[in-house]
Each structure stands twice: as structure tokens, then as C-alpha cells.
Amino acid sequence: MNVVVKNSIRFVIFVLLQALVFNQIEIGFGIHLMVQPLFIMLLPFETGIFTLMILGFFLGLIIDIFSNTYGLHASSLLIMAYLRPIIFKFYGPREGYDPLKEPSIFDMGSRWFLFVFGYLLLIHHFWYFLVEIFRFDQFLLILQKTIFSVIISYLLCIVLQTFIIKKSKAK
């Protein structure tokens, strides 16, 4: 399947999942289920920063429109999209990434995915809750919401990968 078509379908799937399903679930303890960062993570390795930021902004903006969150998702996805190439470079192999693989847990392995997606998800969630609460005297609440939401969202993203991603043929 063409990469553009595949990622366009993923874009729609992540918008629908986040806006219509996961934003409607109330767990408690300040936990917000956010799976849309997985879309930014799964974009091809060679995706440029400008494209990442445009896609992140529009994904976040559409989810913000459905959620009435006034730019929270857009700004947090922009931060994540901006930092993705930096973190990828830091954890990248010396010979570079294989363009036939995608940055998924299946192609890159669980250890690489744990660190790279974990850091990106932590940054995304921390920024989201920092801007949402916007009070430094509530820093412990920001940390509580961030930690609990990252753990649950991370596990949910791993489960989602098993349903929406096929293991690539290149090894």
C-alpha cells in the first residue's frame, strides 16, 4: 500500500479513535487516554520536521475542535513532532534507520520503542497537562496526571499497534 494512503487512513483512524472514543472515557485520577501521539510516532523515518509539524498541528487541531480543548492537543503534538527527529537521532543506529522499516514496536524492537516513544509520550503529556492546568502551584497534580496518563496511554498504544500495523517484510 502506498505510504501516503496508509498514513492518510491512519490519520482518520486516530482522529476518530481519539475524538469519538477515548475522549469520552472517564477513568478517574486525572487520567486522559491519548493515542494520537502514536500517529506522529509511526510516520516514516525520513519524514521531514516541517511535514511532521504540519501533520501534528492539523491532527491536534481537528481533535481540539471535537473536544473543545482550544489548542491543547495541537500544541502538545507540535512539541512532540518538533522533538521527534532529535530523539530519533539520539537513539538511532550508527548506520542510520532502514527506510523499509517503520518506527513501530514490531520493526524496531520493544527496547527501542520503550525509550523513544516513552520519552515522546512523556513530553507530549507533560506539555498537555502543563498548559491545561497552567499553574505552577499545581505542579504535583500536573505530574500525577502526566504519569498516570502516560502509563495507561502507552499500554493502550501498544495494544493498538497489534491491531493496525502489519509487521514489515524487511529484516
For 97-143, write each residue's pLDDT tens digit: 998 899 999 999 999 999 999 999 999 999 999 999 999 899 999 99
pTM, full prediction? 0.93
Q: What angle do CA 153, 5, 162 make, to 5 degrees?
A: 35
- pLDDT at residue number 170: 47
Is residue 61 within 8 Å of residue 36, measured between CB atoms?
no
Q: How far apart are the first and last CA of the chain?
A: 18
Is residue 31 within 8 Å of residue 16, measured between CB atoms?
no
Report the candidate in 165, 164, 79, 163 with the shortest Cα–Cα distance to residue 122: 79
Q: How far apart are CA 161 and CA 154, in angstroms?
A: 11
Report the candidate in 43, 37, 50 with the shortest Cα–Cα distance to residue 8: 43
